[in-house]
């Protein structure tokens, strides 16, 4: 294939990769949109220099991942860093590469449909431009890893059933082992879905030998590999964690600021040793203000000033501090409580309905919220509602498909139900809940594509 034909065939993929890269470059060392990114960067900078038996994940989200897994997972970013690319950009480019592969995997499943009634490639492509999804997968977070791991597992499931045994087997194992190393509770939801779906496949289908292979490749073999890897953090997390304790967290973030009276009473992030005022919520606003003060010549700072965003940021912070008119600035104190979610309890299933509904559909436009960052998410909620509506429409359009006999559809539905139920039990912070909802995108798109693919396999024409 000539280079020109390759470009034309993969122009959407290349556009996707380039647009992500431009955003990653533009943001520079600006971490306000995702404060966890500094923790992941700290992990990246430590894992190759600390001994095997020591922890290098302090301050990062890889608290349950083994060091050998991280060595392999971050190796492409390390190569980029060695040849001179900055550390923050190296891990961002790795995230961009993974999310690009994820998009390719879903498009590949769609292209394998036997007829022309598959889902539009442009619809799949546009779905990855949901603002929060696009932003978080441009940064050095775990989101791209999770998207990739779910996509490669589901793709492996699809390939294996279609007779591509070797590639399907490798994808199943890689997706499962990587997911348990990255986020164990998501892996638990996926394994529950796998066991239930292959049990149904074993009972009602003619593919009984396949059922045992799925169980071995997707569940048993990854566990054996995990047991052979020194991973004490994961074992400690599994044995000591509790859903009840997780759901009992306050959900309130606290951030300390300092009012510098010598700089027109500018509000900056407090340094160690300074007398500080503790604010609840608004981390992104505080971090943005701190970045603008420390990096006045950065391109992003100039853009913010051009649109007067710096003034708006100061207004938000001063509004928070105005609630302390009866207190002296510089005394340790706390502002009003910011909005927090109330999770359900597993002993009371009915209590899970409201938090599950909020996880799927919230936050709602024009509703009250005390955090500045949350107001941005109002714009995005209708996009998710549209996504859900398209899935429902897909079920209606191919209603003659006996989808309950399809292990791939069953697996995805059960996994989605488990993920929503788990979120209803543990999500206490609206920002975190909003970010975790992005994980739904890959299984939702896979379900959307698989319904059309199943219809073509059964010779069902589009309505």
| Mean residue pLDDT across the chain | 78
pLDDT of residue 304: 84
- The answer to whether 134 and 20 are in contact (CB under 8 A) is yes
- The answer to whether 24 and 138 are in contact (CB under 8 A) is yes
Q: Provide, for the chain, the percentages of residues in helix, strand and coil under a 3-state DSSP scheme, each rounded to the nearest 5.
A: 65, 5, 30
What is the token pair recorded at 258? 């300092």
In the predicted model, what is the mean pLDDT of residues 263-271? 58
Q: Starting at the edge strand that comes first in sequence, how are the strands of the sheet with 266-269 ordered? A: 266-269, 254-260, 277-280
The pLDDT tens digits for 410-441 are: 999 999 999 999 888 877 677 777 888 999 99
Separation between Cα atoms, residue 395 and residue 387, nearest integer Å: 13
Binned at pLDDT 50, 70 and 90, residue 214 comes out as confident
DSSP conformation class of 428: -
Cα of first residue to Cα of last residue in the chain, in angstroms, is 37
The alpha carbon dihedral of 102, 147, 138, 46 has a sign of negative
Least confident piece of the model among 79-83, 254-258, 264-268, 325-329: 325-329
The pLDDT tens digits for 163-177 are: 888 999 999 999 999
Binned at pLDDT 50, 70 and 90, residue 443 comes out as very high
Binned at pLDDT 50, 70 and 90, residue 328 comes out as very low
In the predicted model, what is the mean pLDDT of residues 89-104? 96
| pTM over cut 0.95 | no
The alpha carbon dihedral of 298, 303, 307, 312 has a sign of negative
Separation between Cα atoms, residue 416 and residue 443, nearest integer Å: 7
Binned at pLDDT 50, 70 and 90, residue 330 comes out as very low
Residues above pLDDT 70, as percent of the chain = 72
Binned at pLDDT 50, 70 and 90, residue 113 comes out as low
Binned at pLDDT 50, 70 and 90, residue 207 comes out as low
The pLDDT tens digits for 333-359 are: 444 444 566 777 877 888 888 888 888
The alpha carbon dihedral of 380, 123, 140, 174 has a sign of positive
In the predicted model, what is the mean pLDDT of residues 395-420? 86
In the predicted model, what is the mean pLDDT of residues 47-74? 76
Considering only residues 132 and 362, tell me which one the structure prediction assigns the higher pLDDT.
132
Separation between Cα atoms, residue 25 and residue 415, nearest integer Å: 35
Residues above pLDDT 90, as percent of the chain = 28
Q: How many CA atoms does the CB half-sphere of 100 hold within 13 Å?
A: 19
The pLDDT tens digits for 272-305 are: 655 566 665 667 777 787 788 788 888 888 888 8
**Which residue has tokens 């074993």?**
202
């Amino acid at each position: 294939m000539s280079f020109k034909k390759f470009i034309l065939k993969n122009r959407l993929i290349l556009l996707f990769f380039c647009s992500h890269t431009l955003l990653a470059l533009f943001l520079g060392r600006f971490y306000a949109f995702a404060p966890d990114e500094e923790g992941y960067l700290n992990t990246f900078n430590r894992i190759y220099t600390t001994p095997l038996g020591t922890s290098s994940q302090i301050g990062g989200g890889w608290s349950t991942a083994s060091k050998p897994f991280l060595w392999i997972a971050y190796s492409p970013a390390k190569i980029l860093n060695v040849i001179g690319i900055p550390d923050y950009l190296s891990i961002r480019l790795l995230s961009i590469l993974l999310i690009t592969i994820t998009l390719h995997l879903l498009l590949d499943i769609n292209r394998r449909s036997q007829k022309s009634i598959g889902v539009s490639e442009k619809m799949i492509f546009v779905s990855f431009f949901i603002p929060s999804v696009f932003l978080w997968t441009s940064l050095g977070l775990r989101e791209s890893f999770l998207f990739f791991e779910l996509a490669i597992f589901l793709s492996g499931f699809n390939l294996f059933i279609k007779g591509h045994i070797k590639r399907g087997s490798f994808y199943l194992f890689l997706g499962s082992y990587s997911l348990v190393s990255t986020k164990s509770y998501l892996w638990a939801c996926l394994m529950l879905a796998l066991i239930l779906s292959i049990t149904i496949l074993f009972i009602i289908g003619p593919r009984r030998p396949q059922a045992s292979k799925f169980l071995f490749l997707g569940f048993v073999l990854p566990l054996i590999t995990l047991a052979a890897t020194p991973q004490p953090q994961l074992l400690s997390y599994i044995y000591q964690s509790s859903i009840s304790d997780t759901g009992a967290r306050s959900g309130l973030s606290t951030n300390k600021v300092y009012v510098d009276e010598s700089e027109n009473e500018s509000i900056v992030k407090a340094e160690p040793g300074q007398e500080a005022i503790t604010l609840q919520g608004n981390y992104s606003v505080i971090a943005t203000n701190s970045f603008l003060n420390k990096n006045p010549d950065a391109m992003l700072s100039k853009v913010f000033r051009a649109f007067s965003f710096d003034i708006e940021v100061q207004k938000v912070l001063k509004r928070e501090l105005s609630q302390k008119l009866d207190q002296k600035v510089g005394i340790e104190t706390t502002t009003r409580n910011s909005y927090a979610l109330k999770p359900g309890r597993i002993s009371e299933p009915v209590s899970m309905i409201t938090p599950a509904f909020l996880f799927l559909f919230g936050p709602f436009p024009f509703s009250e919220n005390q955090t500045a960052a949350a107001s941005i998410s109002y714009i995005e909620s209708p996009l998710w509602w549209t996504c859900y509506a398209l899935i429902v429409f897909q079920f209606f359009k191919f209603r003659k498909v006996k989808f309950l006999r399809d292990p791939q559809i069953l697996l995805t539905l059960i996994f989605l139900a488990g993920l929503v139920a788990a979120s209803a039990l543990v999500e206490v912070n609206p920002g975190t809940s909003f970010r975790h909802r992005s994980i739904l995108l890959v299984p939702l798109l896979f379900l959307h594509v698989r319904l059309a693919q199943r219809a073509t396999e059964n010779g069902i024409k589009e309505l």
